[in-house]
Amino acid sequence: PFRLDRINLNDRKKTATQIETRRDVSLSLGFYSGALVALDSIKKLGISVDVKTLDTELNQTKVKEILSRESLLGVNAIIGPVSSTALNEVAVQAAPKNIPVISPIASNSSYSHGNVFFSVPTDEVLRLKMLSYLEKTYTDQNIIIIADSTHQVAKDSIMAKFPSAQIAKINDNKSLHLNRFLVKLSETKENWVFVETNQPNMVASVSSILNSTNADKTVVRMFTTNFNNAFESDVVSNTHLSNLKFAYPSFYREIKEDAFTKAYRKKYNDLKPDRYAVRGFDVTFDILLKLAHKNNLFETSKIIGLTEYTGNSFNYFNNLSSGYYNRASYLMEYDGLRIKEIQLNDL
């Protein structure tokens, strides 16, 4: 949704404010800006693409109007919409014509659609990535789990992998019961502390406590199996996260200067691409390359495995009638106030 129904492009200042404050608009525009670079890149490879861009206006009635007006004859793929309800409507209309629909930011849906490609891996895939790696590198570390009531699945999953893990008590105000926690720390073993929450204040409080205990005798590392906005909140100290070598699973990695970033800067007056722009390029370029290989995304997904681009990777598997799911992901860690991808044997 570009929300052109609500944005007055003649008022530049107001338009800029709306773009900055409306997450749906900033996400869509970022994604679209990266997708345009993907179209430029695919054209340089000699591949011709006929593209039509439509604004859903974040309105279900508008989506239905577009679908009744636009002919889907000859369409090879549809990227979007962002909204799950709108995506469901598009998927239903596209299914009889065997048209794949790519979900830009969702990892799953409450609806079953055999023609939807979910480009973001599920929480389960990300959690398993983290736990499987730690299980392989485990050498009798002292493991403590700090999880709020909304992350029971994560707590159970960690306990299944590490049955000897200790559970730290959380107070009613989502804070750590300090005295009970401190006695769980080991001075002879490295402490692996899992923090499972989506509360920024809890992340800030716990990471501050862990940082203060991380001394010569007591070595502490912090992990999560569910990286969310809470860990990126302004109230959370990146210094603390770096000191704790905080590690987490992610569907995207930090970008480096490459052909895409150079092309993006050139196209948009030296503007640095944000996470959504990178995703727009990666998702679009991946789909276009696969369609160029074989003009049928369902068939191509059977023969092409892992693909990797600037900040995202894709490895779709077909879960029968419920769609195609991306199981490619990364492990990231804070190190010296920088975020880097964890390579084998880094832990």
H or E element that contains 61: helix 60-69
Structure tokens at 269: 């007056």
Residue 347: its pLDDT value, please?
46
Helix pair 275-293, 23-44: axis angle to 10 deg: 40
Q: What is the pLDDT of residue 132?
A: 95
Give the C-alpha distances (Å, rounded to integers) separating 57 from 29, 54, 76, 282, 321: 13, 9, 23, 24, 29
Strands (DSSP E) found in 47-113:
78-79, 101-103
pTM over 0.85: yes
Tell me the C-alpha distance between 235 and 320, whole Å.
43
CA distance 56 to 72: 16
Overall size of the chain counted in residues: 347
- For 230-294, the DSSP string reads GGGSTTS-HHHHHHTT-EEEESB----S-HHHHHHHHHTTTPPP-HHHHHHHHHHHHHHHHHHHS
Question: Tell me: the pLDDT tens digits for 166-177?
Answer: 999 888 777 788
- The residues facing 193 across adjacent strands are 144, 222
Burial of 244 (0-12, 13-18, 19+ CB in 10 A): buried
Are 263 and 40 a contacting pair, CB within 8 Å?
yes
How far apart CA 327 and CA 315 sit, in angstroms, is: 6
Low-confidence residues of the chain, pLDDT below 50? 347
